[in-house]
Amino acid sequence: MIAGVRPPQGRFTRFAAIDWSGAKGSRHKGIALATCTAGSAAPMLVPPPDRAWSRTAILDWLVAHAGEPMLVGFDFSFSAPFVERGAHLPGEPPTRDARALWAFVDRASDDADLGAATFLEARRGRHFYLGAADGPKADFLHWRACERATDGTRKPSTVYDAIGAAQVAKASFAGMRLLHHLADRAAVWPFDRVPDAGLVVVEIYTAIAARASGMRKGRSKIRDAAALDAALAAFGTTPHAALARYDDHSTDAILTAAWLRANAADPRLWAPPGMTDAIAQTEGWTFGVR
């Protein structure tokens, strides 16, 4: 077990899940934030300060709530593979751990609103696959330890794959910029020890919450009130307040916030057996993967 990564029972009294976006621009319909408190009440969406959330506004929200005993889950990869090749981005200036990678990505990106699309585009064909012109896609497929941990198979997408509906690259590198700017104002698991007080950020995978609610693989998107209530019930959650629109981003955030609340006290999720100190510092881990 890695010392200091597991919080005591009852450490968190509020829970939040953020469906994230790496899209270009400064306002993103793909970002949704849902929160809930301890108990059984359904999570509720937090309205954006403008017509849609920006990544910067999410950062501001985190900073404003940094003193609260809250567990926050983000749906992006917090780091790139390191263990497999001994580097996050071989041939680039070395980054010894995930925090160094975050700083490098931020220095090398000038996109609006903490975006990182140009970071990937400048390195296409070397590190990132953005289309057939970059060569065989198989040459870019490298995975983190947590992405292979559940059943020995590999996920279909990695942070180096920046094309297609399943790609996580743009969102993840934009998210790394946010984590860099969050700096020491909140703990980020598993890179930091879990402090006795304050907000803690973890990486989540919304499909884990969907599977845990009983939804079948390949059918993890909720687009109506009845389906959302049925999924929430699996976590002992009461019916939700009606939404103006049932889009994937909103329902993913609501369901995953409920899942976080239901699982935050599970010690197995805070100290998965495959997560060594070296992996924790260089690659991180997805909360919920054992």
pLDDT for the residue numbered 3: 45
Considering the domain boundaries, does residue 206 fall inside one? yes
Q: Which of 177, 161, 197 is nearest to 65 (CA)?
A: 197
Question: How far separated are the first and last CA of the chain, in Å rounded?
Answer: 13
Considering the domain boundaries, does residue 172 fall inside one? yes
Q: Which domain holds residue 217?
A: 14-290
User: Can you give the C-alpha Rg of the chain in angstroms?
Assistant: 18
Considering the domain boundaries, does residue 6 fall inside one? no
Considering the domain boundaries, does residue 228 fall inside one? yes
Strand partners, 201: 72, 188
State how far the Cα of 120 lies from the Cα of 124, in Å rounded to an integer.
Answer: 6
Cross-sheet strand order for the sheet of 200-203: 44-45, 32-37, 14-19, 70-74, 200-203, 187-188
Question: How do 14-19 and 32-37 pair as beta strands?
Answer: antiparallel
Q: How many domains does the chain have?
A: 1
pLDDT for the residue numbered 290: 86
pLDDT for the residue numbered 155: 60
Cβ–Cβ under 8 Å, residues 280 and 192: no
Q: Which residues contact 100 (CB under 8 A, 6 or more apart)?
A: 94
pLDDT in tens, 218-247: 666 888 999 999 999 999 999 999 999 999
Alpha carbons within 13 angstroms on the beta-carbon side of residue 174 total 30
State how far the Cα of 32 lies from the Cα of 75, in Å rounded to an integer.
Answer: 10
Considering the domain boundaries, does residue 232 fall inside one? yes
Cβ–Cβ under 8 Å, residues 202 and 235: no
pLDDT for the residue numbered 148: 85
Considering the domain boundaries, does residue 9 fall inside one? no
State how far the Cα of 196 lies from the Cα of 198, in Å rounded to an integer.
Answer: 7
Q: Which residues contact 233 (CB under 8 A, 6 or more apart)?
A: none
pLDDT for the residue numbered 4: 47
Cβ–Cβ under 8 Å, residues 180 and 260: no
pLDDT for the residue numbered 7: 83
State how far the Cα of 214 lies from the Cα of 288, in Å rounded to an integer.
Answer: 15
Q: Which amino acid is at 132?
A: A
Considering the domain boundaries, does residue 4 fall inside one? no
pLDDT for the residue numbered 167: 81
Considering the domain boundaries, does residue 246 fall inside one? yes
Low-confidence ranges of the chain (pLDDT < 50): 1, 3-4, 152-153
pLDDT for the residue numbered 215: 84
State how far the Cα of 37 lies from the Cα of 115, in Å rounded to an integer.
Answer: 31
pLDDT in tens, 158-201: 999 998 766 889 999 999 999 999 999 999 999 999 999 999 99
Q: Which of 149, 146, 169, 160 is nearest to 88 (CA)?
A: 160
- Helix, strand, or coil (residue 187): strand
